[in-house]
Homo-oligomer: A and B are copies of this chain.
Amino acid sequence: MGWQPTRQGDRTLQQQIVTWITERIERGDWVAGTKLPTQRQLALQFGVNRSTVQQALEELKAIGILESTIGSGIYVANSSWQALIKQRQPNWQTYIDTSLHKPNYHTIQLINEYEQRDDFIRLGTGELAPNLLPTTEMEASLKELSLEPRALGYSSPQGSKQLREAICRYVQKRGIQALPENVCIVSGALQALQLIAVGLLEQGSIVFQEKTSYLNSVHPFQSVGMQMIAINRDQQLAQSLAHKKRKRQAVFYAVPTLNNPTGRVWTTEEKRQVYEACKQSRIPIIEDDVYHELLFNEDSPSIKSMDDSGQVLYIGSVSKTLSPGLRIGWLIGPTTVIERLADIKMQTDYGSSAISQEIVLHWLQTGKYERHIEGLRHELQQRATFVEKLLNDNLRDIASWEQPKGGFYIWLKFHAPIVDKAFFIKLLQFNVLINPGYIYDAQDTQHIRLSYAYATREQLQYGVEMLCQVAKLSEKKAD
Contact = CB atoms under 8 A, between A and B. Distances in A.
Contacts of A182: 29
24 contacts: A27-B177, A28-B307, A29-B334, A29-B335, A34-B336, A88-B309, A89-B310, A92-B284, A130-B150, A130-B153, A133-B153, A135-B149, A135-B151, A138-B152, A139-B146, A142-B142, A142-B143, A142-B147, A143-B143, A152-B326, A191-B349, A218-B347, A327-B354, A349-B349
Interface string A307-346: 1111100000001001111110000001111001001101
B155 A325 contact: yes
Nearest to A30: B335
A355 interface: yes
Contacts of A156: 115-116
A94 B168 CA distance: 27
B2 A179 contact: yes
Given A28-B311, A99-B200, A220-B347, 15 more contacts: A2-B179, A27-B307, A28-B334, A29-B181, A88-B309, A95-B200, A96-B337, A101-B344, A130-B149, A152-B324, A152-B325, A154-B325, A187-B187, A353-B353, A355-B359
A353 B350 contact: no
Interface string A212-224: 0000001110011
Nearest to A354: B325
Nearest to A131: B149
Nearest to A335: B29
Contacts of A288: none
Contacts of A90: 282-284, 310-311
Interface of A: 1-2, 26-31, 34, 85, 87-96, 98-101, 103-104, 109, 112, 115-116, 127-128, 130-131, 133-135, 138-139, 142-143, 145-157, 168, 177, 179, 181-182, 187-188, 190-191, 194, 197-203, 218-220, 223-224, 249, 279, 282-284, 307-311, 319, 322-327, 334-337, 340, 343-344, 346-356, 359
A89 B202 contact: no
The 4 residue pairs across chains A and B that have the minimum distance between CB atoms: A28-B310, A325-B354, A130-B149, A353-B353
Contact of A347 (B177, B219, B308): B219
A201 B31 contact: no
Contact of A112 (B133, B151, B157): B157
Nearest to A222: B347
Contacts of A201: 95, 99-100
Query: Which residue, of A156, A220, A346, A353, has the highest number of chain B Cβ atoms within 10 A?
Result: A353
Contacts of A94: 249
B1 A249 contact: no
A239 B200 CA distance: 42
A353 B335 contact: no
B130 A324 contact: no
Number of copies: 2
A336 B199 contact: no
Contact of A326 (B34, B101, B190, B354): B354
A1 to B, nearest CB: 7
Contacts of A356: 353, 355-356
A181 B101 CA distance: 21
A445 B156 CA distance: 28
A344 B308 CA distance: 37
A309 B26 CA distance: 6
Contacts of A309: 26-28, 85, 88-89
B335 A34 contact: yes
A28 B304 CA distance: 12
